[in-house]
A and B are shown apart, each in its own frame.
Chain A
Amino acid sequence: MSSIKMRAKLDGGVTTVKALISHPMDTGLVKDKKTDKLIPAHFIQEVTVTHKGTTVMTAEWGGAVSKNPYLSFRFKGGSAGDTLKLSWVDNQGKSDSSEGQIK
């Protein structure tokens, strides 16, 4: 299953994008209660949203973004049915991407 849930809604020429990503967002400063070892840092570093090949949002994140991060923003120039692509890369090199249509 994709780690990304994204919705984009057009209203009066402005597209509102809302996205949820499931990710632990570990800071690397927390100890595992059972093993007494630090949970290694594991957080998303960059989220990119593109619309028709143009980047509308690049988010650079540190470990201080909450677990299962939420992101919302608005942009102009979208129309209904356009495809939006969201992709993320984390500090362990993992990544995922997902596409959705503007409604």
Chain B
Amino acid sequence: MKNTALSGEANVMNMKRRTFLRGTVAAGAVGVAAGTGLLTPRMVLAAWPKAAFDAKTVDAAVSALLGSSSLTGSDQIQIKAPDIAENGAVVPVSVTTDISGVESISLLVEKNAAPLTSNFKLGKGTEGYVSTRIKMGKTSSVIAVVKADGKLYSHGKEVKVTIGGCGG
């Protein structure tokens, strides 16, 4: 992969992971771009939870999105994701849950600059299952937060990101 040479510098640059992920750019080029100032969408959906997507920690993101950050660990949530992801730009993740009355499933990556990747609001007849592909900057825990009957449940799975074979 073309980004093999990036690893050392990228670490120094405190992992500007989007740069890293795409592998299209010299590491560190992004600098201070992580700020939200650059994200100036012409049209912001009223419903789109900007604060949650901008949040820098899992707790803050979950609070902003779901109104509370008190998560109950649950073994009724299964996360299907690779143990080792070769390419952090495309990590397939599926979440299945047996919890009844699921209202939403959120997917977070603990060590991404902005942990919240996606939030799925389920309709009434929709089962507790979603599958998608997300970006990961580095080895991290992938956390699924399930909201059911007003309560929050969570489960995490560690995914190693190797990126072009420079080790995880």
Contacts from A to B (Cβ < 8 Å): 14, 27-33, 36, 38, 40-41, 45-46, 51, 54-67, 69-77, 89, 91-93
Contacts and interface: CB of A to CB of B under 8 A. Distances in A.
Given A29-B30, A30-B30, A31-B29, 9 more contacts: A55-B123, A56-B125, A60-B48, A65-B118, A72-B130, A76-B125, A91-B39, A91-B41, A93-B41
Chain A contact surface mostly: strand
A12 B29 CA distance: 52
Contacts of A89: 43, 45
B133 A58 contact: no
Q: Which residue, A14, A31, A54, A62, has most C-beta atoms of chain B within 10 A? A: A62
Contact of B39 (A28, A36, A51): A28
A29 B33 contact: yes
Contacts of B49: 60
Nearest to A71: B132
Interface of B: 16, 18-19, 22, 24-26, 29-30, 33-34, 38-39, 41-45, 47-49, 53, 89-92, 94, 109, 112-114, 116-127, 129-135
B127 to A, nearest CB: 4
A41 B38 CA distance: 8
Given A29-B30, A30-B25, A66-B134, A75 B125 contact: yes
A3 B122 CA distance: 23
A101 B22 CA distance: 35
26 contacts: A27-B135, A29-B38, A30-B18, A30-B25, A31-B25, A38-B30, A41-B38, A45-B41, A46-B47, A57-B126, A59-B118, A59-B119, A60-B53, A61-B119, A63-B135, A65-B117, A65-B134, A67-B89, A70-B92, A72-B130, A73-B126, A74-B126, A74-B127, A75-B125, A92-B41, A93-B42
The 8 closest A-B pairs by CB, nearest first: A29-B18, A93-B43, A91-B41, A64-B117, A56-B123, A72-B131, A66-B133, A62-B53
